[in-house]
């Protein structure tokens, strides 16, 4: 029993030492430093490149989402994401005919 307690105390001390340095780290200054993946070039499943998507996300989409998130809408209205959508059936598939994988006829 004493060996188990020694292991547990040693483990908790190690976790405490590792966790204490975590709060002192400064966040990176640029978005490139915050991103864990750096991709570039063309995408297999899209007709545009990574740079176009990144530019659209950073300069067109992010400012609008940020403004929406800072508005009072999310403060006063509750959303139940588990409730079915009242406007259309969600089958989680694209509605375009050319978007889906066509089955093989055997």
Specify the pTM. 0.35
What is the per-residue pLDDT across 65-92, written as a single tens digit (0 to 9) for each? 888 888 887 777 777 778 887 777 766 6
More confident residue, 8 or 74: 74
Mean pLDDT of all residues in 16-44: 57
Distance CA 14, CA 8 (A): 10
- Confirm if 93 and 100 have CB atoms less than 8 A apart: yes
**Helical segments of 23-106, H only:** 31-34, 50-56, 62-69, 73-76
């Amino acid at each position: 029993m004493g060996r188990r307690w020694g292991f547990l105390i040693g483990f908790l001390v190690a976790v405490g030492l590792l966790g204490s340095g975590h709060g002192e780290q400064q966040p990176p200054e640029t978005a490139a430093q915050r991103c864990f993946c750096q991709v570039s070039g063309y995408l297999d499943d899209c007709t545009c490149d990574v740079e176009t998507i990144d530019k659209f996300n950073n300069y067109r989409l992010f400012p609008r989402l940020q403004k929406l998130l800072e508005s009072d809408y999310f403060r006063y209205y509750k959303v139940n994401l588990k409730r079915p959508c009242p406007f259309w059936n969600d089958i989680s598939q694209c509605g375009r005919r050319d978007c889906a994988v066509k089955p093989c006829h055997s």
